[in-house]
Amino acid sequence: MRVLLVEDDDLIGYGVEAGLRQAGFTVDWARDGQSAELAITTTDYALLVLDLGLPKLPGTELLRRLRAAGEYVPVLVLTARATVADRIDGLEAGADDYVSKPFDLAELIARCRALVRRSQGRGIDVIRHRNLTVNPVEQRVSLSDVPVPLTSRELAILLQLVTHIGIPQSRSRLEESLYGWQSEIESNAIEVHISNLRKKLGPSLIRTVRGIGYVVEKA
């Protein structure tokens, strides 16, 4: 799952970026509101972690613009502005949750996961499909209760597919779930990862949709 972090404080940004990556997210980091606005118009994100006190374009104004344009990506506001009035302002601008600085990184990650779950219509983290169980928090996968070791990128592709069951995912969409701004996209990586997933999880789980991409069919 790809997340856009918008934070102009390098110390906080590096910490949040590292924590989100360790939790299994693919992270892009924008340091001002204008860069964030451009990123959102060109990339499909599962979540936006947004500071309000940003240069060039304030976070609250960015949020209002996104909602006015019909962009409903879940937004977690992360800011030092901790007054009730500030929280109300952020929520009314379209934020889905609010964390004040200083914060506990584990709580921040838990709130991020909760927002993504909610946006996908899930009440719990564990995803079950037929005899497949995927636990994004623990980054574990099992088939008929037998653990199946996956690489981080195999897991990222599997998560993209099982959180969009019945909806074909294009090669470019799967690449977006794998690669951040600093990553070099390998030409045949998706095909290789899909092949490995079929070997580990069975050939029938992931179906190729000719001319479109790949899909995990509904049960």
Tell me the per-residue pLDDT of 65-92, one tens digit each, with 9 for 90 and over. Answer: 999 998 889 999 987 766 777 777 777 7
Higher per-residue pLDDT: 180 or 201: 201
Domain ranges of the chain: 2-119, 127-216
What's the chain's average pLDDT? 88
- How far apart, in whole angstroms, are the C-alpha atoms of residue 186 and residue 24? 20
Fold of 2-119: Rossmann fold (3.40.50)
Q: Do the domains 127-216 and 2-119 match in fold?
A: no
Structure token digits, residue 24 = 């299994």
- pLDDT cut 90: percent of the chain above it: 53
pLDDT digit string (tens) for 1-56?
889 999 999 999 999 999 999 888 989 999 999 999 999 988 889 999 999 889 99
Confidence category of residue 180, pLDDT binned at 50, 70, 90: low
What's the per-residue H, E or C state across the chain?
Answer: CEEEEECCCHHHHHHHHHHHHHCCCEEEEECCHHHHHHHHHHCCCCEEEECCCCCCCCHHHHHHHHHHCCCCCCEEEEECCCCHHHHHHHHHHCCCEEEECCCCHHHHHHHHHHHHHHHCCCCCCCEEECCEEEECCCCEEEECCEECCCCHHHHHHHHHHHCCCCCCEEHHHHHHHHCCCCCCCCCCHHHHHHHHHHHHHCCCCEEEECCCEEEECCC
- Whether residue 187 has pLDDT greater than 90: no
Q: Of the CATH numbers 1.10.287.990, 3.30.360.10, 3.40.50.300, 1.10.10.10, which one belongs to the domain with range 127-216?
A: 1.10.10.10
